[in-house]
Amino acid sequence: MSRKQITGIGPAPRTGGDDSGCPILHVDMDAFFASVELLDRPELRGRPVIVGSPAGRGVVLSATYEARSYGVHSAMPMSRARRLCPQATVIPPSHGKYSEVSRGVMEIFHAVTPLVEPIASDEAFLDVGGAGRRLGPPGAIAAMIRAQVLERYGITCSVGVASSKFVAKLASKQCKPDGLLVVPAEEVVAFLHPLPVSALWGVGERTEQSLVRLGIRTVGDLARIPPATLRRELGQAVGAHLAALAWGRDERPVTAHVPDKSIGNEETFAADVDDPEVIRRELLRLSEKVAARMRGSGHVGRTVSVKLRRADFSTITRSRTLKEPTDVAQEIYVTACELFEAAGLERVRLRLVGVRMENLRPADSTSRQLALGERETGWREAERAMDKAIRRFGPDAVLPASLVRGRLDEMEA
């Protein structure tokens, strides 16, 4: 095959193949949260690092490739990750830092093309078909993006360049970390068919087991099965979907950013908690984080939702729709506490709590009208001032008094 993997940052790459029919890029940051943390901890470079709760509860948010070599991966329970790699350094997450870098990276993408479809804070699809005359062929654009991300933020990303979203995403995964892989349109089938069938979107553990029972282990094996047989064995929708992907057929366009439907945060406690004051402090902390994220993304929301998980893992949620949309933490917090009290779990041991805002809309589309005789509280102005201080001095620069007291209590305990 003439496709070529390019690693490292340098001048516009020679792809070794025709990328003229490859307008789709999938850009995926390498171990994003961990990479951002290492910017402040350069002495940990080259060592296994896990981002997650040091107490061992919750799941892995990110891990360096040195930790991944021991089998650690995102979404793995922290307790298992610590057993697999006990020598790893565990760093608690700093979501504010990740959001800031994510916004900057997305700005780089939007400077290339308006057709940017974020998949998460650390990855996105781009359609660069309209940027060729201004910036060059897709492979060169991909190299330029990688260079700019490294130069501005000191972290690396991997980019797949292909004729479809499906193949571009597979290509970025194949060249990780810190790589660039172009799959020319005429070589898509040759690229796909040696891959394990689990590489196809929609093939989970159960579907893979069904395919293996049919003797299907690679994408090439699946491609040789009559589509009618696949539809009969897997169902109409799944069978047709996999039959198309096995030949590289994916007609989905890159869809420009769709605003978040909800914004939320949750926390798993180091030990189960049945103290209502501790729960309320956590609800305040989460409300502060949710409100800051909403202001950062330019949204307000009307529906407050709380998530409460008992020690036995049973979970309940409660929500309430406000009269007016808000991005003010104090308003979110008051409602979250009322929902917590109404749930009747004030003396029940809880493992996890969460706060989420739903029913979002752009902040500039709504100007809150004060009712007759109502006075402005000043909370919004105070919280915007806190945002500025936090951006300049770090996440602990300004805290509500009750959260400061909570930390002092924890230090004394």
Residue with tokens 């041991």: 349
CATH number of 193-246: 1.10.150.20
Q: How confident is the model at residue 383 (pLDDT cuts 50, 70, 90)?
A: low
Report phi then psi at 77, rounded to 5: -55, 135
Residues in the chain: 413
Determine the pLDDT at residue 408.
45
Contact call for residues 279 and 286 (beta carbons, < 8 A): no
pLDDT at 378 over 60: no
Query: Strand 179-182 to strand 49-51: parallel, antiparallel, or no bridges (unpaired)?
Result: unpaired
pLDDT at 379 over 80: no
pLDDT at 115 over 50: yes
Determine the pLDDT at residue 394.
53
Give the Cα separation of 26 and 178 in Å (integer). Answer: 13
Identified catalytic residue from 66, 117, 123, 282: 123
Determine the pLDDT at residue 64.
97
Give the Cα separation of 106 and 124 in Å (integer). Answer: 8
pLDDT at 181 over 90: yes
Give the Cα separation of 190 and 17 in Å (integer). Answer: 13
Residue 16 DSSP code: S
Contact call for residues 263 and 356 (beta carbons, < 8 A): yes
The chain-wide mean pLDDT, for the chain, equals: 84
The alpha carbon of residue 315 and the mean position of all alpha carbons in its chain are separated, in whole angstroms, by: 23
1 or 259: which leads in pLDDT: 259
- For residue 177, whether the previous peptide bond is cis, meaning omega lies within 30 degrees of 0, is yes
pLDDT tens profile 92-103: 998 888 988 999
User: Smallest Cα–Cα separation from 277: which of 403, 380, 111?
Assistant: 403
Give me the residue spans of the domains in the chain: 1-185, 193-246, 262-412
pLDDT tens profile 62-76: 999 999 999 999 989
**Terminal-residue alpha carbon distance, the chain:** 63
- Angle between the 138-153 and 95-112 helix axes, to the nearest 10 degrees? 150
CATH 3.30.1490.100 describes domain 262-412: yes
Instruction: Please indicate whether residue 338 is annotated as part of the active site.
Output: no
Determine the pLDDT at residue 39.
95
Q: How confident is the model at residue 296 (pLDDT cuts 50, 70, 90)?
A: confident
Give the Cα separation of 111 and 125 in Å (integer). Answer: 14
Q: How confident is the model at residue 411 (pLDDT cuts 50, 70, 90)?
A: very low
Average pLDDT over residues 181-193: 95
State which amino acid sits at residue 56: G
Q: How confident is the model at residue 293 (pLDDT cuts 50, 70, 90)?
A: confident
Q: 97-106, 115-124, 261-270 — which is least confidently predicted?
A: 261-270
Q: How confident is the model at residue 364 (pLDDT cuts 50, 70, 90)?
A: low
Determine the pLDDT at residue 274.
92
In terms of average pLDDT, the best of 138-152, 301-315, 338-352 is 138-152
Quote the tokens at residue 114. Answer: 């308006």
- Angle between the 32-40 and 95-112 helix axes, to the nearest 10 degrees? 110
By the 10 Å C-beta count (0-12 exposed, 13-18 middle, 19+ buried), 388 is classed as exposed
3-state secondary structure of 305: strand
- Residues forming the annotated binding site for Mg(2+)? 28, 122
CATH number of 1-185: 3.30.70.270
pTM: 0.66
Q: How confident is the model at residue 6 (pLDDT cuts 50, 70, 90)?
A: very low
pLDDT at 194 over 50: yes
Average pLDDT over residues 193-208: 88
- Residues forming the annotated binding site? 28, 122
pLDDT at 129 over 50: yes
Determine the pLDDT at residue 99.
87
Give the Cα separation of 126 and 312 in Å (integer). Answer: 43
pLDDT at 7 over 90: no
DSSP H or E segment with residue 264: strand 262-273
pLDDT tens profile 323-337: 889 999 999 999 999
Q: 35-39, 357-361, 398-402 — which is least confidently predicted?
A: 398-402
- Angle between the 329-342 and 379-393 helix axes, to the nearest 10 degrees? 110
Give the Cα separation of 250 and 91 in Å (integer). Answer: 39
Determine the pLDDT at residue 390.
54
Average pLDDT over residues 145-159: 96
Write the DSSP string, 341-368.
HHTT-TTS-EEEEEEEEEEEEEGGG--P
Q: How confident is the model at residue 357 (pLDDT cuts 50, 70, 90)?
A: very high
